[in-house]
């Protein structure tokens, strides 16, 4: 079967419900295969046939779930984002901020990071992928960061901020820079037997606390 390229995606990148009930394990296998093929071949090199083969299913099975390669990538991003749990309330700004940084580090070093690479590269000329980058990945981070800020203000940990979402820009920008763009990040991490993400958290946490105006404890 030839590669389908037309965009027929439904709301939130999800395929329409039809026929017999979906097999959740098969869906997950296809989503994981999509991330793996994207990592190896990029968006331009991804084909539904390659994903189906990696997942051990037929292309007909894949097309019953997603109508095109674009729908498949969008659906993968939406499903992956929906698997992320809620931001915990640790009772203090430092704990909340450390949890947020750890969540972002885990994201960028795992499947979410590989998806982010692909979506950023393609979003400049693909409106559907740009939309899912914003709604499924960027906005949830902004909302979680704003929650951390509002909790801290309510507790008196920091003075009020004009824009509670500013923390997300600091977290995402700094994490992407340290984990994706800094050549010696891996060296700094292995020097003390920690991961790149853990090294980034140690580096960023004191800076972000000062930037937010955290009062000394």
Are both 16 and 92 inside the same structural domain? no
pLDDT value for 83: 62
Of the candidates 51, 80, 109, which is a domain's last residue? 80
pLDDT value for 196: 81
Are both 60 and 112 inside the same structural domain? no
pLDDT value for 148: 93
Are both 51 and 106 inside the same structural domain? no
Q: Look up the domain containing 204 and give its range.
A: 85-211
- Decide if 26 contacts 57 (C-beta within 8 A): yes
Radius of gyration of the chain (CA): 19
Q: What b/e readout covers 80-112, taking b as 16+ CB neighbours within 10 angstroms? A: bbeebeebeeeeebbebbbbbbebbbebbbebb
Are both 51 and 156 inside the same structural domain? no
What H or E segment, with its residue span, contains residue 77?
Answer: helix 69-82
**129 found inside a domain:** yes
HSE-up of 186 (CA within 13 Å, CB side)?
4
Q: Is 158 left (phi over 0), alpha (psi -120 to 50) or beta?
A: beta
**2 found inside a domain:** no
**118 found inside a domain:** yes
Helix (H, G, I), strand (E, B), or coil: what is residue 167? helix
**90 found inside a domain:** yes
Total of domains in the chain: 2
pLDDT value for 12: 44
Task: State the burial class of residue 203 (Cβ atoms within 10 Å of its Cβ: 0-12, 13-18, 19+).
Answer: middle
Whichever domain contains 60, its CATH number is 1.10.357.10
Are both 106 and 38 inside the same structural domain? no
Q: How far apart (Å, rounded) are the C-alpha atoms in residues 49 and 3? A: 8
Give the distance, in angstroms, between the CA of residue 6 and the centroid of all CA atoms in the same chain.
25
Q: How far apart (Å, rounded) are the C-alpha atoms in residues 39 and 111? A: 9
Are both 159 and 66 inside the same structural domain? no
Q: CB neighbours of 74 closer than 8 A, spacing ≥ 6? A: 9, 13, 128, 129, 132
Q: What average pLDDT values come out for the chain (217 residues) when binned by 10 residues?
A: 42 45 80 90 91 95 91 84 73 93 84 78 85 83 90 94 89 83 57 71 92 80
- Decide if 90 contacts 14 (C-beta within 8 A): no
Are both 109 and 207 inside the same structural domain? yes
Of the candidates 45, 80, 115, which is a domain's last residue? 80
Of the candidates 80, 98, 131, which is a domain's last residue? 80
**5 found inside a domain:** no
SS3 content of the chain, % helix, strand, coil (to 5): 70, 0, 30
């Amino acid at each position: 079967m030839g590669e389908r390229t037309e965009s027929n995606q439904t709301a939130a990148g999800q395929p329409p419900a039809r026929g017999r009930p979906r097999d959740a394990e098969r869906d997950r296998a296809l989503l994981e295969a999509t991330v793996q093929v994207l990592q190896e071949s990029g968006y331009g090199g991804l084909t539904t046939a390659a994903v189906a083969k990696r997942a051990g299913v037929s292309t007909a099975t894949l097309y019953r779930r997603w109508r095109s390669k674009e729908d498949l990538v969008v659906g993968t991003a939406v499903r992956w984002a929906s698997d992320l749990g809620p931001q915990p309330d640790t009772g203090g700004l430092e704990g909340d901020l450390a949890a947020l940084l750890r969540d972002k580090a885990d994201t960028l070093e795992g499947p979410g990071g590989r998806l982010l690479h692909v979506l950023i590269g393609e979003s400049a000329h693909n409106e559907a992928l740009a939309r899912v980058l914003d709604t499924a990945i960027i906005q949830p981070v902004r909302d979680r960061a704003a929650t951390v800020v509002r909790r801290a203000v309510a507790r008196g940990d920091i003075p009020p901020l004009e824009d509670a979402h500013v923390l997300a820009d600091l977290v995402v920008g700094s994490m992407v820079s340290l984990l994706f763009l800094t050549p010696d990040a891996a060296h700094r991490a292995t020097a003390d037997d920690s991961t790149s993400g853990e090294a980034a958290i140690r580096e960023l946490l004191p800076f972000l606390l000062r930037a937010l105006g955290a009062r000394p404890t």
